[in-house]
Amino acid sequence: MPLLCPISTMIPPSYLDSGTGEAEVRAYKLGKRRWSYNQVEVIVREAGGSRVLTVTNATNQGTDNFNEEYRESAVNYLLELSNQSRVVLHGFLCYDAGEGGTPLLGPPHTLSPDQWHQWYLVQRSACCKGCTGPVIRDPRFLYLSFDEAGTHVGAKTFRLVCALYDSDGCQVLANAASPPIRVLANNDVPTGAAHLRLELEVDGSWEGWSPAGTGEILRPAPRPLGLAAGLDDLFEPMHIHSHVADLAGVPGLDRLMESIMPDSPYSAAGMLDLVGRPFQYL
């Protein structure tokens, strides 16, 4: 029996009026332990306003805290935004079909039930080719692989359905559905990875709109690994962070960082900033 996604969204224009809505996005299921990863771009916009935030860092938190029936179709991220606010993003791979109704979860905007849409999850049990494992995979940052072809489950297109929460994962801030995604099987020749743009509208009253340093009290970052609970007095946060920043100008440091971590997407300055940032909130 099809399983409803725990997130409801506003009905996308392309679902109401196919052919004049969003353009279809193509992705690929490669098979044989190979995956084609697609970039997901998350944009946070102020509902009825002009403020816009982008993602500067994304950490995959896993889905162990999800109900078991959802895990194979889901991803769970902690996102740091361009003003240093933190939010949680849940994403589910769903069929591009469903039904209207009262939202299971929703943002703080008042909408009538007929403006909401419920989605059905893509599940391995529906695969006619006997594929196994998660139907959505994540290597790092916001690159996702959709490991189920539409032809394997009798579907033309899928959707990535997402909800944005506060940093505690409790308050729903916004939700959205991606454009239709046509996932082709590995016997089709790949022409490149897909790019999915997700725009989520958050109410202007959200405290996270306030940039760091203007009076907003940010929630503490996780304590650095290996730092014992009673050692706070040994560290002066601003002192440590200033020395980390000084290291970024050392000649040849970029080449050294590249030799140590050749696959890192960060420059030496960017990596040092990530290392030093947690000490600002001790």
Are 212 and 178 spatial neighbours (Cβ–Cβ below 8 Å)?
no
On whether the pTM is more than 0.85, the answer is no
pLDDT tens by residue, 182-199: 998 876 655 678 899 999
Q: Where are the domains of the chain?
A: 4-209, 232-281
CB atoms within 10 A of CB 246: 10
pLDDT tens digits in sequence order for the chain, 282 residues long:
689 899 988 766 455 444 445 678 999 888 778 888 999 999 999 999 999 999 999 999 999 999 999 999 999 999 999 999 999 999 999 998 754 444 444 343 444 555 678 889 999 999 999 999 999 998 788 999 999 999 999 998 899 999 999 998 889 999 998 988 999 887 665 567 889 999 999 999 999 998 653 333 334 334 333 333 333 333 333 333 334 344 444 455 555 555 555 544 444 444 444 443 333 333
User: Tokens for 151?
Assistant: 């032809």
Amino acid residing at 212: A
pLDDT tens by residue, 68-119: 999 999 999 999 999 999 999 999 999 987 544 444 443 434 445 556 788 8
Half-sphere exposure of 72 (CA within 13 A, CB side): 16
Please choose, from the candidates 206, 260, 164, the residue with its C-alpha nearest in 3D space to the C-alpha of residue 48: 206
